[in-house]
Amino acid sequence: MIGWVILFCITHIIWGCGYRFDKAHPRDSDLTPMDFKDSSFIGPMFLYMFYGFYDAIFQCYAYWVLGALTNSSRKLAIYAGWYKGIQSAGAAIAWAVDDQKVPYSGMYGSSWGLLGGSLVIALPILYKKIEETTSIEKDLKDTDETLEDVLGGTNVPATGVSQYPERKDSEIA
pLDDT of residue 155: 53
Instruction: Give domain status of residue 151, yes or no.
Output: no
Full-model pTM: 0.68
Among residues 2, 7, 6, which one has the least CA distance to residue 127?
2
Residue 88 placed within a domain: yes
> Burial of 15 by CB count in 10 Å (0-12 exposed, 13-18 middle, 19+ buried)?
buried
- The tally of domains found in the chain comes to 1
Q: Which domain holds residue 13?
A: 1-22+43-130
pLDDT digits (tens, 9 = 90+) for 50-81: 999 999 999 999 888 888 887 777 788 888 99
Tell me if 157 is assigned to some domain: no
For residue 45, give the amino acid letter: M
